[in-house]
Amino acid sequence: MKVSAAKTSHQTKNDRFLQLKNSIADYLHQKDKILTGLEDEKRIDAQKKKIMHRLGATEEQWSDYKWQLENRFTNIRDFADLIGISSECIAGIEEVGRTYRYAISPYYLSLINPDDLNCPVRRQAVPSPNELNPDGDLDPMDEKGSSPVELVTRRYPDRLIIKVTNMCGMYCRFCQRRRLIGESDKNVSWDQIKAAIKYVRENREIRDVLITGGDPFMLSDSMIERLLGNLREIDHVEIIRFGTRTPVTLPQRITENLVNILKKYHPIYVNTHFNSPREITKESKEACERLAGAGIPLGNQMVLLNEVNNNPHIVRKLNQSLLRIRVKPYYIFHPKTVKGTSHFWVRVEEGMEIVESLRGRTSGMAIPTYIVNGPGGLGKTPILPNYLMYLGAETAVFRNWEGKTFEIENR
């Protein structure tokens, strides 16, 4: 009887381990089909060479972020053939361009797979006639109404945003601030920044300042250092954060000099913005590891985008790949109802399904918080699957990631 009981116990354990293995079999079957940029490096490198030839560029120029900015593609006729856009589609893209500006860095253009009309990088970078859909609002979060002084957005008691530029390395088609892009790039003046810093100095409850834009790393190194130096003189400012997509769209910007400036003013945090595994390339990996190596914690704020990443397996591959380049998945943002972006919108159920699919099937570090931004400046609201089934005076009932229920004493 004892031997039989031991065999039964051993078999039960084996059955459980097999059950765990089978619970992610669907993902493992799909994982290798969801390519990161690292895994698709050969194709990206071939595309890079075509673009370099078109622009007459050297490797040294390609590695220079200023060259990348100066050579952004802003006319569809200059690059349509490079990414497989038919002549029939050009007119529609030009029509969008008359309403909404676009610019794509040569680097980011090289990530587009010309043989894949549904390429998630293409969808984020290249204008679509769907942008002319009138649904939505240009400022659904009412940033203007949440601004106590110019450049500042404040929605919370102890933190605020300073928007220092309208420039970006690449103008994303889903951008929440497309209203600010305008017809030309411009950084704000130092006098305007000083007024924002003055507001921070005069409000002692502000302990956390987020520098954003546009993309704040579009400022010169000297301006970034000047900004950081002035903020660090304010004793109640504990944390300074940057919100930047340059590690994704313009990784050449993360230079040794920039990193050396940032680490002088710790604690500095950087949140970046990978939306697709295809954006994780050799260059973006090097940029993130350069920042992480300087002691700068990195977080990722993914926007949930229709036909880009609204798929549980894609998000799992993205988040696990981000951890390997030392970036912590931080938020999944539900898309904002910005005018011109309706083709990216998804239902809340899709986001909840993705979060549910991650819990228990990957490490907790790979599970970000799913966020819906309240319209009109009501702020970030987290959404979680309901794991608490019942809460009473003496007991609480939960379900786990497998749907199994259990009860604990509430004392």
Helices (H), 71-220: 87-97, 106-109, 120-125, 190-202
Determine the Cα–Cα distance for residues 28 and 260; give it in Å rounded to an integer.
Answer: 40
Half-sphere exposure of 241 (CA within 13 A, CB side): 15
Q: Within a domain: residue 111?
A: yes
pLDDT at residue number 281:
98
* Residue 274 · residue 300 · CB < 8 Å: yes
Q: What is the CATH number of the domain that holds 176?
A: 3.20.20.70
Determine the Cα–Cα distance for residues 243 and 74; give it in Å rounded to an integer.
Answer: 24
Mean pLDDT computed over every residue of the chain: 94
Does 150 share its domain with 110? no
> In this model, does residue 262 exceed pLDDT 60?
yes
What pLDDT, in 10s, does the model give residues 353-371? 999 999 999 999 999 999 9
Determine the Cα–Cα distance for residues 112 and 274; give it in Å rounded to an integer.
Answer: 15
SS3 109: helix
Q: Within a domain: residue 133?
A: no
145-159, 271-285, 374-388: segment of lowest average pLDDT = 374-388
Determine the Cα–Cα distance for residues 146 and 152; give it in Å rounded to an integer.
Answer: 8
pLDDT at residue number 10:
73
> In this model, does residue 121 exceed pLDDT 90?
yes
Q: Within a domain: residue 390?
A: no
Give me the amino acid identity at 363: S
pLDDT at residue number 5:
62
Q: How far is CA 105 from the centre of its chain?
A: 17
Instruction: Calculate helix-pair angle for 348-358, 312-324, nearest 10 degrees.
Output: 50
Q: What end-to-end distance do the CA atoms of the chain give, in Å?
A: 41
208-233 burial: b if 16+ Cβ within 10 Å, else e: ebbbbbbbbbbbeeebbbebbebbee
- Order across the sheet with 405-409: list the strands: 388-391, 395-399, 405-409
Determine the Cα–Cα distance for residues 23 and 396; give it in Å rounded to an integer.
Answer: 27
Confidence band for 127, pLDDT divided at 50, 70 and 90: very high
Q: Within a domain: residue 389?
A: no
Does 286 share its domain with 191? yes
**Residue range(s) defining the domain that contains residue 363:** 144-383
Does 149 share its domain with 222? yes
Q: Give me the mean pLDDT over the 127-143 stretch.
A: 89
Q: Which residues pair with 366 in a beta bridge?
A: none
Q: Give me the mean pLDDT over the 10-19 stretch.
A: 85
- Comparing CA positions, the residue from 245, 161, 167 lying closest to residue 211 is 161
Does 15 share its domain with 94? no
Return all residues near 167 (Cβ < 8 A) that are at least 6 apart.
Answer: 185, 186, 187, 213, 214, 215, 218
Does 158 share its domain with 91? no
Confidence band for 2, pLDDT divided at 50, 70 and 90: low
> In this model, does residue 181 exceed pLDDT 80?
no
- Comparing CA positions, the residue from 174, 181, 165, 99 lying closest to residue 132 is 99
Q: Within a domain: residue 398?
A: no
pLDDT at residue number 91:
95
pLDDT at residue number 3:
54
What pLDDT, in 10s, does the model give residues 238-260? 999 999 999 999 999 999 999 99
Does 190 share its domain with 293? yes
Confidence band for 57, pLDDT divided at 50, 70 and 90: very high
Q: What is the largest CA-CA distance in the chain?
A: 85
Does 302 share its domain with 156? yes
Tokens of 324: 């390997």
* Residue 181 · residue 101 · CB < 8 Å: yes
pLDDT at residue number 182:
57
Q: Within a domain: residue 101?
A: yes
pTM: 0.93
What pLDDT, in 10s, does the model give residues 268-325? 999 999 999 999 999 999 999 999 999 999 999 999 999 999 999 999 999 999 999 9
Return all residues near 119 (Cβ < 8 A) that are at least 6 apart.
Answer: 112, 113, 278
* Residue 346 · residue 306 · CB < 8 Å: yes
Give the 3-state secondary structure of 243-290: ECCHHHHCHHHCCHHHHHHHHCCCCEEEEECCCCHHHCCHHHHHHHHH
Instruction: Calculate helix-pair angle for 221-232, 256-263, nearest 10 degrees.
Output: 10
Percent share of the chain, pLDDT over 70: 98
Determine the Cα–Cα distance for residues 78 and 50; give it in Å rounded to an integer.
Answer: 13
Q: Within a domain: residue 410?
A: no
Does 206 share its domain with 290? yes
Confidence band for 141, pLDDT divided at 50, 70 and 90: confident
> In this model, does residue 407 exceed pLDDT 60?
yes
Task: Please state the domain count of the chain.
Answer: 3
Other beta carbons within 10 Å of 99: 11
Q: Give me the mean pLDDT over the 201-221 stretch.
A: 96
Element (H, E) at 294: none
> In this model, does residue 56 exceed pLDDT 90?
yes
pLDDT at residue number 6:
63
Provide the strand spans (E) within 109-247.
152-153, 159-163, 208-212, 239-243
Does 99 share its domain with 181? no
pLDDT at residue number 143:
81
Q: Give me the mean pLDDT over the 219-233 stretch.
A: 98
> In this model, does residue 8 exceed pLDDT 80?
no
Does 101 share its domain with 215? no
Does 89 share its domain with 177? no
Does 112 share its domain with 205? no
* Residue 71 · residue 79 · CB < 8 Å: no
Q: Within a domain: residue 290?
A: yes
9-18, 126-135, 277-286, 390-399: segment of lowest average pLDDT = 9-18
